A and B are shown apart, each in its own frame.
Chain A
Amino acid sequence: MEQSFQYFLIPFLSWEMMLLIWAGVFAGIWVGAIPGLSVTMAASLLISFTFSWDLNHALALICGVFVGGVYGGSITAILLNIPGAPAAIATGIEGYPLAQLGEAGKAIGLCTTVSVFASFVGILALSVAAPVIANFSLKFSPRDFFLLAVMGILLIGSIGGGDPVKGVAAGAVGVLLSMVGMDPSTGELRYTFGNIHLMAGISFVTAMIGLFGVSEALTQFRNAGKKSPKQNLDRIIPSWATFVKYLPLSIRSSLLGVFIGALPGTGGDVAALLAYDQAKRTVRNPSRPFGTGAYEGIVAPETANKGAIGGAFIPMLTLGIPGDAVTAIIIGALYIHGLKPGPMLMIETPHLFWMIVSCLSIASVALMVLGLVSVKPFAKIIEIPKEIIMPVVIILSVIGTYAIQNSVVDIFYMIGFGILGYFMRLYGYATGPMVLGLILGPMLDANYRRAMQGAENQLLPFLEGFVTNPISLFLTLSIVFLVFSQTKVYRRWRGFE
């Protein structure tokens, strides 16, 4: 124990590490905020960059960028309705209407506060329960991942705009588009028509930037002459009472985030979507109706994606299995620095575990300070007349898209998706479900097929699995409940209507 505490103190005793963590968080906020730049990209770049550094210093910087980057994605989602990263999609649903009401400052302030709280929940879970959670997460079979994806897809009901049929149609188009390219499990080419660019598939980040960013800009031009909303920046830090009001929701969502983050292969994006859906179904009296600027709809996804940071480290540090793309890169970094990620990591290099816990804690504190300081300048961005900001947003989208994999073709896709999104909005098809379909489509497809292969392609054993395995049964029942909870009978009984 005493030993652990000593390891925990390592970053506090080195001014270089402190500085690197703070610098990392600051850089991370920008990386996250700019669409197309992702934490994954920054982390893999940092590996080459920090090759000759001391490992502790490199890890400090990467941890800082990780925490800052997950947070930064929400800023652009709230201000411009362009999620800087997929994990911020749900935040934009409520955040953007709030910014249009002049409450961007309050929204970002609340987002910052609950983010820091959730980040500590994740760190706490990592430090006290890592082995338990990690071993439990291994028990999730392909069938369970399929069920999780189905839960995510149900969100279409929440973000589909007024008409569920149109929402489902848009979601199905998203799923169909996600099938384009080489099937990762059999190598079969689907909808590629012999085109090498289609073979790599359609990157959902490209689609996301187009469908949210460019289509938003185009839609704005329809109402020329409308003034940008004036921002009220009096009280950006939420009061203690407000924080306490959202505390139960914060705890619930951050724990959900920890857990989803700990599952190998799912990260903050799925966590945030599930948490938003969960909040929308369970919060009785939101500050405003969901979809028009409910603060609960910001708290839930923001706490979930921050909780997922600590969660992602859980299987990485205990089992050597990455919890998400960023921790996969950190594993690579450890190899390059001559360490052995895996179960032996805790035994051979115990200081590493506590040092990472400590780096993440310092990064969360840094996030609190840097986040709150930058609320005002960020919120001012919306007051810039849209005639000026929108062309800049379009160019930002272009360069961000290009940066994903240095491909000019992606820019054309992105603009194509932007134009498509513009027309979709005109006819009342929300763009959110389409992005959802693109993100969850591969997860649905691959895991359904794996589960089927596990049942040797027999329908009956496949279906049996849903009720005989305890985890699958729990998830199946949850889905049944989620669907049932949308019916009139239930809502009347619980007093929602």
Chain B
Amino acid sequence: MSDLSSSLPEAPEAAPAVKDLSVFVPEAHRRPGELGAAALGFLLGALGYYFALDMTSGEYSSPSVFPKFASALIMACTGVILLRGLKKDKQKDGPGLAAFLLPMDVVVVLILLVAYCVALPWLRFVPSSFLFMVIGMVYLQRGKNIVRAVLISAASLAVLVAIFRYLFMVILP
């Protein structure tokens, strides 16, 4: 019985990084851009409602019922979040908006992703994916192990292409 209720100590550094971010603990200070995010959500709800006005309505079973309901719900929730955020203090020290949203590594990966999307239609799938993986790995390992990065990229791409192209007969872009 005890083997699963684990003897492993709940080491703090073992706690997943993701959960730290997604579990919202009511904080005294609001995060940079928190109000903006809620306002964007509210805007999305408002736009959703606005465009739903064009849909067929008039009956309880009209196609516009659920879009309107969902949009109104978004507006209500983000409205509450917005009000709560306003009550909190602005963060004094700590990272600015840009540094909070986009640390260097994330920026680089995002740029790589966008470049990948642009390159995909005319470089085809295999070369652009290979480049993405190699550049990504080399950058994230800070320029070390270039040969390993190339080898791993080539190997994993070969496996993926084999599975998708030849087993599943998916014609790659």
Contacts and interface: CB of A to CB of B under 8 A. Distances in A.
11 contacts: A166-B77, A169-B73, A175-B73, A219-B21, A221-B140, A395-B133, A395-B157, A427-B33, A427-B34, A429-B22, A457-B59
B140 A224 contact: yes
A403 B168 contact: yes
A155 interface: no
Interface residues of B, number: 83
Contacts of A188: 55-56, 63
B91 interface: no
A164 to B, nearest CB: 9
Contact of B67 (A162, A191, A431): A191
A162 B25 CA distance: 6
Nearest to A445: B66
Interface stretch (A239-247, A305-313, A324-332, A372-380): A239-247
Contacts of A390: 136, 140
B16 interface: yes
Given A190-B67, A392-B133, A449-B63, 13 more contacts: A102-B14, A163-B24, A163-B26, A221-B103, A295-B4, A395-B157, A406-B171, A408-B120, A408-B173, A415-B117, A437-B70, A453-B61, A457-B60
A454 B44 CA distance: 33
Interface string B91-129: 000000000110101100110010011001100010001
Interface in B28-75: 31, 33-34, 37, 41, 44-45, 48, 51-52, 55-56, 59-67, 70-71, 73-74
**What band does the interface of chain A fall in when counting residues whose beta carbon is under 8 Å from B?**
35 or more
Interface string B128-170: 0100110011001100000001001100110010011000111
A458 B59 CA distance: 9
Interface stretch (A93-101, A116-124, A126-134): A93-101
Contact of A221 (B48, B81, B105, B156): B105
Interface of A: 30, 34, 37, 41-42, 45, 81, 96-97, 100-103, 106, 110, 161-163, 165-166, 168-169, 172-173, 175-176, 179, 183, 185-186, 188, 190-191, 214, 216-224, 226, 229, 232, 235, 238-239, 241-242, 245, 287-288, 291-292, 295, 385-388, 390-392, 394-396, 398-399, 402-403, 406, 408, 411-412, 415, 418-419, 422-423, 425-431, 437, 441, 444-445, 448-450, 452-453, 457-459, 462
